[in-house]
Amino acid sequence: MARIASLLAAVAASLPVAAHAAPPLAGTYLERADGQGGECPADADEDCLLQVAAKDKAACDKADARSACDPRLSERPTLDFEKILDDQLTRAIGAIGASGFSNVSAVFDNVIDRSGAGAELTPAEMQAYRANFMASVDGRDDLATAVREAIRQALPAMPEALAEKINAANLSYTVGPELRPRSAFPTGLAPLPVPQSWLSDPEEANETLSEGQAPPPPSFDARQNWPACAKVIGRIHDQGNCGSCWAFAAMQVMDSRTCIGLSNTGDNDIDVDLSRGFAISCVPELAGSGCGGAYPLAAYLYIKTHRGIPPTECVPYFAAGTRRRDSTTRRRAPACPRSCSRGRKFTTLYRPRGIGVNVQMFTGGAETKDKRPNEAMMNAIMSGGPVDWMVDSNQILGYRTGVIRHCFQPADHAVTAIGWGSGGPDGEHIITINSWGESWGDKGMFKAGWCMVGYWTRPGIVRQVDDDR
Assess whether 180 and 232 both reside in one domain: no
Contact between 125 and 131 under an 8 Å Cβ cutoff? The reply is no
Whether omega before 186 lies within 30 degrees of 0, making that bond cis, reads no
Assess whether 262 and 153 both reside in one domain: no
> β-strands 429-433, 199-200: how paired?
unpaired
What is the structure's pLDDT at 327?
53
- Can you give the length of the chain in residues? 469
Assess whether 328 and 263 both reside in one domain: yes
For residues 423-431, average pLDDT: 88
What is the structure's pLDDT at 314?
93
For residues 97-117, average pLDDT: 75
Contact between 417 and 452 under an 8 Å Cβ cutoff? The reply is no
Query: Domain for residue 408, yes or no?
Result: yes
Assess whether 443 and 316 both reside in one domain: yes
Contact between 81 and 120 under an 8 Å Cβ cutoff? The reply is yes
235 burial level (CB within 10 Å; 0-12, 13-18, 19+): middle
* pLDDT tens per residue, range 381-391: 999 999 999 99
Assess whether 255 and 176 both reside in one domain: no
Query: Domain for residue 401, yes or no?
Result: yes
What is the structure's pLDDT at 293?
85
Assess whether 136 and 229 both reside in one domain: no
* pLDDT tens per residue, range 345-397: 777 788 888 898 888 999 898 888 888 888 999 999 999 999 999 999 988 99
- What are the residues facing 200 on neighbouring strands? 362
Between 359 and 222, whose confidence is greater?
Answer: 222
Domain termination residue (choose one: 157, 184, 211): 184
* pLDDT tens per residue, range 64-76: 433 333 334 445 6
Assess whether 163 and 274 both reside in one domain: no
Query: Domain for residue 173, yes or no?
Result: yes
Q: Cα 236 vs. chain centroid, distance in angstroms?
A: 15
Assess whether 123 and 156 both reside in one domain: yes
Q: Is the pLDDT of residue 27 over 50?
A: no
How far, in Å, CA of 226 to CA of 255, rounded? 13
What is the structure's pLDDT at 195?
75
How far, in Å, CA of 122 to CA of 192, rounded? 36
How far, in Å, CA of 451 to CA of 61, rounded? 33
Segment among 109-123, 140-154, 157-171, 428-442 with least mean pLDDT: 140-154
User: Confidence band (pLDDT; 50, 70, 90) for 4?
Assistant: very low
Query: Domain for residue 46, yes or no?
Result: no
> β-strands 220-221, 413-421: how paired?
antiparallel
- What are the residues facing 201 on neighbouring strands? none
Average pLDDT, the chain: 80
The CATH number for 295's domain is: 3.90.70.10
Assess whether 218 and 153 both reside in one domain: no
Contact between 373 and 450 under an 8 Å Cβ cutoff? The reply is yes
Q: How many separate domains does the chain show?
A: 2
Query: Domain for residue 162, yes or no?
Result: yes
Assess whether 380 and 430 both reside in one domain: yes
Assess whether 316 and 456 both reside in one domain: yes
How far, in Å, CA of 359 to CA of 365, rounded? 20
Determine what percent of the chain is predicted with pLDDT higher than 90: 41
Q: Is the pLDDT of residue 14 over 80?
A: no
- DSSP strand E in 139-286: where? 156-158, 173-175, 178-181, 199-200, 220-221
How far, in Å, CA of 140 to CA of 147, rounded? 9
What is the structure's pLDDT at 203?
72
Q: Cα 28 vs. chain centroid, distance in angstroms?
A: 19
Between 183 and 62, whose confidence is greater?
Answer: 183
Domain termination residue (choose one: 144, 160, 184): 184
- Domain residues for the domain of 460 are 196-468
User: Confidence band (pLDDT; 50, 70, 90) for 159?
Assistant: very high
Determine what percent of the chain is predicted with pLDDT higher than 70: 74
Assess whether 335 and 461 both reside in one domain: yes
Query: Domain for residue 130, yes or no?
Result: yes
Domain termination residue (choose one: 126, 155, 184): 184
Looking at residue 335, the DSSP 8-state letter turns out to be P
Q: Is the pLDDT of residue 101 over 60?
A: no
Query: Domain for residue 155, yes or no?
Result: yes
Q: Is the pLDDT of residue 428 over 60?
A: yes
Query: Domain for residue 53, yes or no?
Result: no
